[in-house]
Chains A and B, each alone.
Chain A
Amino acid sequence: ETGVTQSPTHLIKTRGQQVTLRCSSQSGHNTVSWYQQALGQGPQFIFQYYREEENGRGNFPPRFSGLQFPNYSSELNVNALELDDSALYLCASSLALGQGAGEQYFGPGTRLTVT
């Protein structure tokens, strides 16, 4: 098991609502990335945070936003939920740029269902 934790484990929301997912990084890791994994597909990169700043974004609309806190925990916020947002959301922490080759340690994920 990695030292990355996520909450909640499961979540059910209604279309149009907003949701916040939380992640606690592995100790010593100051970079966090978020991924969306739809059923039967590989994870898709949403964005990355490094030292509380967004450091790269995948092909996701602005209603997907994030925060990283001084203790390196982070949040993923999704506004105006759509049915297609139903997925497993994974966070992954890693060492900072230049301090490692980028292997990431994933949390167990939050399963979001939008009805």
Chain B
Amino acid sequence: AQSVAQPEDQVNVAEGNPLTVKCTYSVSGNPYLFWYVQYPNRGLQFLLKYITGDNLVKGSYGFEAEFNKSQTSFHLKKPSALVSDSALYFCPAGSWGKLQFGAGTQVVVTP
């Protein structure tokens, strides 16, 4: 069984400040972890994935995520947030197109 938890419903950050969106997972076996972003009235856009290998994963639009096995976490980070990063972020677990999503975290970046 696979599940994820995003402990924050919303994250507020000022433009130019670092952005972190938290995610913890519970999976049996090796975890396949992803980050997606959803803009209003749009589908989900793939940001990055962790399958195996380096714990620091670099993705699209300047985002990266750190896989921490001991803490079962996969937090998303961006060094300098933009107003255009305001959106809903999801960290599903799964593979081969069968993803288990949490409720997501709304990111609000203020000018």
A positions within 8 Å CB-CB of B: 2, 4, 31-33, 35, 40-45, 48, 56, 58, 90, 92, 94, 97, 101-109
Known: A48-B96, A102-B95. 12 other contacts (CB 8 A): A31-B97, A35-B99, A40-B103, A43-B90, A43-B99, A45-B99, A90-B44, A92-B44, A104-B97, A106-B36, A107-B43, A109-B42
Assembled-state Cα–Cα distance A101/B98 (Å): 12
Assembled-state Cα–Cα distance A4/B98 (Å): 17
Residue among B34, B43, B94, B99 facing the most chain A CB atoms (10 A cut-off): B43
On chain B, the number of residues with a Cβ less than 8 Å from chain A's Cβ atoms is: 24
Assembled-state Cα–Cα distance A40/B103 (Å): 7
| B32 close to A (CB within 8 Å) | yes
Q: Which of B11-19, B45-53, B64-72, B79-87 contacts A (4 or more CB under 8 A)?
A: B45-53
Give chain A residues whose Cβ lies under 8 Å from the Cβ of B43. Answer: 2, 4, 90, 92, 106-109
Q: Contact between B46 and A45 (Cβ–Cβ < 8 Å)?
A: no
Give chain B residues whose Cβ lies under 8 Å from the Cβ of A103. Answer: 34, 46, 49
Q: Contact between A33 and B44 (Cβ–Cβ < 8 Å)?
A: no
